[in-house]
Structure 1
Amino acid sequence: MIPFDQLPYRPCVGIVLVNPAGLVFLGQRTGGAEHVDAHHSWQMPQGGIDEGEEPLEAALRELYEETNVSSVEPLGEAPEWFAYDLPEPIAREAWKGRYRGQTQKWVAFRFTGEDGEIDIHRPGGGKHKPEFINWRWERLERTPRLIIPFKQPVYERVVSTFQPLIGRD
């Protein structure tokens, strides 16, 4: 078995979806209750980058697959990748020991649709398994306190990177 600290990171995207009021989409994850309390079960959409896919393409695809949202305008992209390690027992279970965590390219979009477009129960037009049991709009700066602790440093970087782009009325 490869030592945990020598495993690679899984390439992934993270999505900051911003509504006209300057609030960001947060979804409450399904499952995983054995690893996290309900307070820390919120996150922004994210997912893996497919072979040959560019991060922006992956972000649009993942956003649709997790929220049904397609009415967006690009706001910006983080200049670098943000990585985090999962606790080893979770990583060995989640990806069959192939990765120690994820490296994420974060992308921000302005949501140009109506809230009714968001459908976490039939995401991707009903073609994808729901990843969230609930959702809400939240202030970006509050997100690090609502995410599972091992992802908090990444969310702090997301806040510092995207807060200037988002602004608030």
Structure 2
Amino acid sequence: MPDKSPLPIPTPIVYRPNVGVILMNDRDEIFVAERINIPGAWQFPQGGIDDGEDAETAMFREMAEEIGVTRDKVELLEQRGGYRYAFAKGRLKYGIYGGQEQTYFRCRFLGQDSDVNLAATHQEFSRWCWIKPEAFKMEWVPKFKRAVYHQVFLDFFGVDLSAKVS
């Protein structure tokens, strides 16, 4: 006789609130940085929204912490939210979060390149550069984040990077 026990009910993913920063210079190039612990992995500055913070406050804090760029050096142009990804292999962050839900902010950089300081607090990036949005390579991004990056580039720049996935 077959086992009639019910199938296990999957635990829903809890998404950590997160922000991403698309910083653009006066040549409409975007700021990308290489992760210090993963050579070849380039991304936008990003980070979690702390308790009591709104997304905009978190964005300015993360930008200052990760790349040393302060609020007075940027003009906020637009924001879009609802970008979600689940962490790879069922990983949990802080024991509860199975992924992140991101709000992205596009900002105009008003400062000088010398205002960028990757060692402003705890260094997460080894180097950085400005590139045109269409020059971004999807293989720089972990597979579990690629759908978000694909949508972000479509939404903010009208650039379809799906053909660039290797």
TM-score of the aligned structures, taking structure 1 as reference length: 0.80
Aligned residue identity for 1:15? V
- The equivalent residue for 1:45 is 45
Aligned residue identity for 2:19? V
Higher-Rg member (1/2):
2
**CA shift digits 1:110-160 (9 cap, x unpaired):** 00000000011x21xxxx210101111122233351222211111111111
When you count strand as a share of all residues, which structure comes out higher? 2
Matched ranges for 1:67-106 at <5 A? 67-70=67-70, 71-78=73-80, 80-88=81-89, 91-92=91-92, 95-106=93-104
Cα deviation for residue 4 of structure 1 reads 7.0
User: Where does the alignment leave 5 or more consecutive residues of structure 2 unmatched?
Assistant: 1-8, 159-166
Matched ranges for 1:9-158 at <5 A? 9-31=15-37, 33=38, 38-39=39-40, 41-70=41-70, 71-78=73-80, 80-88=81-89, 91-92=91-92, 95-120=93-118, 122-123=119-120, 128-143=121-136, 145=138, 146-158=140-152
RMSD, aligned CA: 1.8
Question: Distance between the aligned counterparts of 1:96 and 1:48, measured in 2?
Answer: 12
**CA shift digits 1:19-39 (9 cap, x unpaired):** 1111111111121x4xxxx43
Aligned residue identity for 1:159? F
Aligned residue identity for 2:142? I
- The equivalent residue for 1:167 is none
% same residue: 33
Question: Distance between the aligned counterparts of 1:141 and 1:97, measured in 2?
Answer: 36
Structure 1 outlier segments of 4+, above 6 Å? none
Query: Which gives a bigger RCO, structure 1 or 2 (Cα 8 Å, sep 6+)?
Result: 1
How many residue pairs were aligned? 147
Q: What SS does the corresponding residue of 1:152 show, helix, strand or coil?
A: helix
TM-score of the aligned structures, taking structure 2 as reference length: 0.82
When you count helix as a share of all residues, which structure comes out higher? 1
Q: 1:118 to 1:149 in 2, by over 3 A?
A: same
Aligned residue identity for 1:23? E
User: Where does the alignment leave 5 or more consecutive residues of structure 1 unmatched?
Assistant: 165-169
